[in-house]
Amino acid sequence: MDQKYLYLSLTPEALIASMLPPEDFGKYLAVGSKKRTRGQALFFEVDTNIESDYFKTGIIKERCVPHSNGAPKRSVYLSIYRVLEHIPLSKLKNLYLVTDDGRVLGLEKGEYSVKNNSQLHLYQQLGPVSPRVATKLNPVEFVKFITDLSQPVSVPKIVFTELTLDELAENPLKGNDESLPYSNIDHLRDCLIGLTNKDSKKTKTVIRTLTGNLFYRMVKNGFFIGENGNVVYYPFPSLEELNSKYYPWWKSAVTIGF
């Protein structure tokens, strides 16, 4: 029997059935079948045993079949709207990060513990909305805050990554920012300084939406997805691992933004 896979794409948000395994699917999303396109991609593999009244999973058996020439079916879109919120956290498998030239890195779930917590944080939200926000909340606190549906500004579920702030995490007024590639660095510094005020709100928007590629090299610790205070964590490899075990992917990833 032909193997079928289910993927939750974040770029843009969609639920996609495919006969391609994760590595091949990532390459397909990034560069297309004829390598005439080029674009970064992020996606989760989803357990195909998912039961849902929201998604028409019945069409997978009918439409996700080989082409007449025997080539595997690359994509069958099941939904492009409110996908993330309708997939249980328990059904998510590995997270895959794809560079714009089709290099694929898979991340497994891990344990997250708040240790040596910085004073300030910078989060790039990836779904279902994509602002970049500065905050004093650690990742677990941020999930609880942003998925509190009793509040006027909230989402049912959130995916985000923490970006490094280097010295600005502890000293936004005088910290060195030379190693940070963010284009709006003065505004970022102003947001961080504002958060140090006692009466400040819990988050400040740095950019309203992500445009272009995510700088993988600026990921501080990993990727988070959560709802109702429940958090699933995908740790990012250490620099030592990136320069050895994952070097081909890392070499491609660090060129973004230069």
d(CA 109, CA 10): 17
For residue 12, cis peptide bond before it (omega within 30 degrees of 0): yes
pLDDT tier at 258, thresholds 50, 70, 90: very low
Q: Does 178 lie in the same domain as 74?
A: no
Q: Does 188 lie in the same domain as 126?
A: yes
Which among 85, 107, 129 is the end of a domain? 107
Q: DSSP assignment, residue 208?
A: S
Please give the mean pLDDT across all residues of the chain: 92
pLDDT at 34 over 80: no
What are the two backbone dihedrals, phi and then psi, of residue 69, each rounded to the nearest 5 degrees?
-90, 5
Q: Does 78 lie in the same domain as 137?
A: no
Residue 144 near residue 229, CB atoms below 8 Å: yes
For the chain, give the percent of residues with pLDDT over 90. Answer: 80
Residue 127 near residue 13, CB atoms below 8 Å: yes
User: Is 251 a domain residue?
Assistant: no
d(CA 33, CA 67): 14
Which domain range does residue 232 map to? 121-240
**pLDDT in the model for residue 116:** 64
Which among 84, 107, 130 is the end of a domain? 107
Q: DSSP assignment, residue 236?
A: P
Tell me the per-residue pLDDT of 174-189, one tens digit each, with 9 for 90 and over: 999 999 999 889 999 9
Q: Does 236 lie in the same domain as 137?
A: yes
User: Is 255 a domain residue?
Assistant: no
Q: Does 231 lie in the same domain as 147?
A: yes
d(CA 223, CA 213): 16
Q: Does 142 lie in the same domain as 77?
A: no
Q: Does 226 lie in the same domain as 134?
A: yes
Q: Does 95 lie in the same domain as 169?
A: no
Residue 222 near residue 97, CB atoms below 8 Å: no
**pLDDT in the model for residue 250:** 97
Q: Does 68 lie in the same domain as 23?
A: yes
Q: Does 61 lie in the same domain as 19?
A: yes
**Number of domains forming the structure of the chain:** 2
pTM of the model: 0.93
**pLDDT in the model for residue 234:** 98
**pLDDT in the model for residue 1:** 55
For the chain, give the percent of residues with pLDDT over 70. Answer: 96
**Region 132-156 average pLDDT:** 95
- The token pair at 74 is 């690359």
**In 3D, which of 244, 242, 245 has the Cα closest to residue 253?**
242
Q: Does 126 lie in the same domain as 93?
A: no
Give the 3-state secondary structure of residue 185.
helix
